[in-house]
Structure 1
Amino acid sequence: MNIRNLGFPLAVAAFIALAGCSTPTVVTLQNGTQYLTKDMPKTRTKDGFFEFEDISGAKVRVRADEVTTIRQED
């Protein structure tokens, strides 16, 4: 098999893999505040916080007991 025949299937596989990595998520707090994130937030840290980046690129850190729901965006 030459490199041209192998390159296209590898490129398609890489594209599919990267497209599946992003999971837009809505994090809702008890006070009604909602954050739209690019990816699923990291699980609870040792000190009891969730850490994530919202769609504007701002880093957000909230106490786990303030979070009501974390769900994938519809």
Structure 2
Amino acid sequence: MNMKIAVAGFVLIAGVGLAGCSTQTVVTLQNGTQYVTKDAPKTKSEDGFYEFVDISGKHVKVRADEVATVKEED
């Protein structure tokens, strides 16, 4: 019983700790459009796209050659 409580506590603490590690990122496209993401976007995929979820929850997929910069928000 004590082992289950200890494991559950560890999992809870680890989950809270990881939630604090997300860093908002600004993805700027060549045309000036900016997206703010909850986390850094997945790097360029095999098919040549960046994929991310913006802060409103919208899934965005853009061609890598359309991306000007990817920077952590200050």
Where structure 2 has 5 or more consecutive residues not aligned to the other structure, the ranges are none
Aligned pair in 2 of structure 1 residues 68, 18: CA closer, same or farther (>3 Å)? same
Aligned pair 1:27/2:58, yes or no? Answer: no
- Give percent identity, aligned residues only: 58
- Tell me how far apart the structure 2 counterparts of residues 61 and 19 of structure 1 sit (CA, whole Å): 25
Matching residue of 1:18: 19
Q: Could you give the per-residue CA deviations for residues 7-62 of structure 1, whole angstroms, max 9, x where no partner exists? A: 9x845554333211x11000000000000000000011111000000000000000
Instruction: Return the letter of the residue paired with 1:66.
Output: E
Q: Which residue of 1 aligns with 2:60?
A: 60
Corresponding pairs, count: 71
TM-score (norm 1): 0.79
Question: Structure 2 length as normaliser, TM-score?
Answer: 0.79
The CA distance in 2 between the partners of 1:37 and 1:14, in whole Å, is: 20
Gaps of 5+ in 1: none
